Amino acid sequence: MTLVDTPATTTGGPALTQERRLVTAIPGPRSQELMNRKAAAVAAGVGHTLPISVVAAGGGVVVDADGNSLIDLGSGIAVTGVGNSAPRVVEAVSAQLNAFTHTCFTVSPYEGYVAVAEKLNELTPGDHEKRSALFNSGAEAVENAIKIARHYTKKQAVVAFDHAYHGRTNLTMGLTAKNIPYKNGFGPFAPEVYRAPLSYPFRDGGLDGREAAARAITMIEKQIGAENLAAIIIEPIQGEGGFIVPAAGFLPALVEWAQANDVVFIADEVQTGFARTGAWFASEHEGIVPDVIVTAKGIAGGLPLSAVTGRAEIMDSAMAGGLGGTYAGSPIACAAALATIETYEQDGLVERAKEIGSVLIGRLNALRTADPRIGDVRGRGAMVAIELVDPATGAPDAALTNKVAKFAHEHGVILLTCGTYGNVIRFLPPLTISDELLVEGLGVIAEGLKQA
Ligand SMILES: *Cc1c(COP(=O)(O)O)cnc(C)c1O
């Protein structure tokens, strides 16, 4: 076993050799040692996709304690769009650490928070007057978006969609569709949450976007009533639910209906936001302007931060003191967010996401032509997935999906699965990955499919 040196750069981030390198089996002995300690110390409910012991990460690789270097096709679930330990983020966070670490923004404020809010108001879709509020996690921001919508409309019901994922807190579990593992045994869930049918082109029997929206709206009108409905919340492209891109026209029809009925339209862009889909926000692909937009994952280069951004009249409805949190909008996370946003802008990462998308879609479509088990290739920018099926029946093939993911892990590729039926392989590489590594990673997956 050889451990390769990873010299630190002046900006702090490790200058890692951008290569897939296996020097032990995955997981190796040091990773296994950590997993043994973990099993005795950490709650079993906290699981792992790939049980390695990470010591460094950057560019397009993650390095473990055994000296293996893995190709990162997950970005810690769409978080490190700018890469791990991105130089500007390291610098900004270090400076903030040396200045002050915490005051609580609602006790004594600081500029970073305000600057992040200004940036969010500028970058999110729509040129109306906006306000933002910052939080720590995606789920916390979703909860606050619902709080705000209820306060503003003075109504209570909330509609989420089939296959939705909005988090793990009580309200967001209720909004999330999938039972195992997210909800099973964790109820009761919050009241006044309803579920509407989605547009899922691969499994919708040819419904177009407008027809799928009409189906959802009829259900909402008949079973809830617009006069009781505070908000519709939807991911413009569903994440955990299977990277489902709704048919064109679905989202605009929902937005139109919501606006005509005093219902707040909330776009959960926690996974799709910040350059990931080849636009700043996925709402842009459909030309929609959400009333409220929720962001998190890609916002701060790996530091915990989330945000709710929306129309000023909606966001300003809650009284002073009604929104906040001890750590919400931490100065360190805000410094990271400003440096992260600057990195997306300065390094052309929106464009880079599009290029990554062309490589992914091109190669995956080529694989699909030769392999009918790949039922669908879909996604936008650097958020792409394949849905694996039984070619004879179209039935979801979760077993095949797990085999391919296991093969990828054993061969040094961090690969995530998703989907209500567990049969979707998703690609979420950092936007700093090289084409060479990306193509090599795809080659491993192709080989995994062949051997499965
Ligand atoms: C990950 C995710 C969340 C929850 O974010 P956390 O930071 O894990 O609480 C909410 N919505 C979507 C669409 C997500 O992908």
The domain boundary, picked from 346, 363, 387, lies at 346
Nearest atom of ligand 1 to the alpha carbon of 78: 15
Ligand 1 pocket: which residues have CB below 6 Å? 137-139, 142, 165-167, 235, 239-240, 268, 270-271, 296
Alpha-carbon Rg of the chain, whole angstroms?
A: 22
Q: What's the CATH code of the domain at 104?
A: 3.40.640.10
Residues 407 and 388 in one domain: yes
Indicate if 127 and 275 belong to the same structural domain: yes
Contact call for residues 328 and 137 (beta carbons, < 8 A)? no
What is the number of the ligand 1 atom nearest to the C-alpha of 164?
A: 13
Q: Is residue 93 part of a domain?
A: yes
What residues make up the domain containing 76?
Answer: 13-85+348-451
394 alpha carbon – ligand 1 mean position (Å)? 29
Q: Is residue 1 part of a domain?
A: no
Q: Which atom of ligand 1 is nearest to the CA of 136?
A: 7
| 186-191 CB contacts, 8 Å cutoff, 24+ apart | none
Give dist(CA 356, CA 341) in Å, integer. Answer: 19
Which structure tokens are listed for 452?
A: 């499965």
Structure tokens at 318: 């809650």
> Any idea what DSSP says for residue 325?
-
223 and 342 in one domain?
A: yes
Calculate the CA 440 to chain-centre distance: 24
CATH of the domain at 40: 3.90.1150.10
Dihedrals φ, ψ of 389, to 5°?
-140, 165
Tokens of 182: 């997210």
8 domain residue, yes or no: no
Co-location of 331 and 374 in the same domain: no
Instruction: Tell whether 210 and 329 lie within a shared domain.
Output: yes
Task: Identify the domain boundary among 290, 316, 346.
Answer: 346
Expressed in angstroms and rounded, the spacing between residue 178 Cα and the centre of ligand 1 is 14
d(CA 108, CA 130): 23
DSSP string covering 186-243: --PPPSSEEEEPPP-GGGTTT--HHHHHHHHHHHHHHHT-GGGEEEEEE-SS-TTTT-
Cα within 13 Å of Cα(202), Cβ side: 21
| Cα-to-centroid distance, 451 and ligand 1 (Å) | 33
Q: Answer yes or no: is 2 within a domain.
A: no
Q: What is the pLDDT of residue 15?
A: 80
358 and 441 belong to one structural domain: yes
- Give distance in angstroms: CA of 397 to centre of ligand 1: 25
- The answer to whether position 7 is within a domain reads no
**Looking at ligand 1, which atom is closest to the CA of residue 169?**
9
For residue 268, the cross-strand partners are 294
How many domains is the chain partitioned into structurally?
2
Tell which atom from ligand 1 comes closest to the C-alpha of 239: 15
CB distance 323 to 316 below 8 Å: no
Could you tell me the CA-to-CA distances from 436 to 19, 61, 81, 361 in Å, in that order? 9, 12, 18, 15
Residue with tokens 């099973």: 184
Residue with tokens 């500028």: 122
Which atom of ligand 1 lies closest to the CA of 306? 7
Asked if residue 291 is part of any domain, the answer here is: yes
User: 276 and 135 in one domain?
Assistant: yes
Beta bridge partners of 233: 266
Mutate to test the pocket of ligand 1, among 49, 233, 271 (most ligand atoms within 8 A of CB): 271
Same domain, 74 and 97: no
Query: Could you read off the pLDDT tens digit of each residue along the chain, which spans 452 residues?
Result: 334 444 444 444 458 999 999 999 999 999 999 999 999 999 999 999 999 999 999 999 999 999 999 999 999 999 999 999 999 999 999 999 999 999 999 999 999 999 999 999 999 999 999 999 999 999 999 999 999 999 999 999 999 999 999 999 999 999 999 999 999 999 999 999 999 999 999 999 889 999 999 999 999 999 999 999 999 999 999 999 999 999 999 999 999 999 999 999 999 999 999 999 999 999 999 999 999 999 999 999 999 999 999 999 999 999 999 999 999 999 999 999 999 999 999 999 999 999 999 999 999 999 999 999 999 999 999 999 999 999 999 999 999 999 999 999 999 999 999 999 999 999 999 999 999 999 999 999 999 999 99
Q: What's at 196, amino acid-wise?
A: A
Strand partners, 64: 54
Tokens of 54: 């990470």
- Ligand 1: residue of 270, 276, 283 to mutate (most ligand atoms within 8 A of CB) is 270
Residues 6 or more apart from 93 whose CB is under 8 A from it?
A: 303, 332, 335, 336, 339
Verify that 196 and 228 share a domain, yes or no: yes
Give yes or no: residues 422 and 399 share one domain: yes
User: Best mutation site among 144, 165, 234, 428 for ligand 1, i.e. most ligand atoms within 8 A of its Cβ?
Assistant: 165
- 250 in any annotated domain: yes
pLDDT for position 48: 95
Distance 134 CA to ligand 1 centre (A): 15
Given 313, 346, 379, the domain boundary residue is: 346
Nearby residues of 320 by Cβ (< 8 Å), 6 or more positions away = none
| Dist. CA 75–CA 90, nearest whole Å | 17
Single out the residue of 430, 152, 165 nearest to residue 294, CA to CA: 165
The candidate with the shortest Cα–Cα distance to 252, out of 226, 217, 278, 218, is 217
Give the model's pLDDT for residue 9.
45
Same domain as 312, residue 353: no
- Structure pTM? 0.96
pLDDT of residue 4: 44
The Å distance, Cα 414 to ligand 1 centre, comes to 19
Q: Are 395 and 421 in contact (CB under 8 A)?
A: no
Residue 66 sits in the same domain as residue 125: no
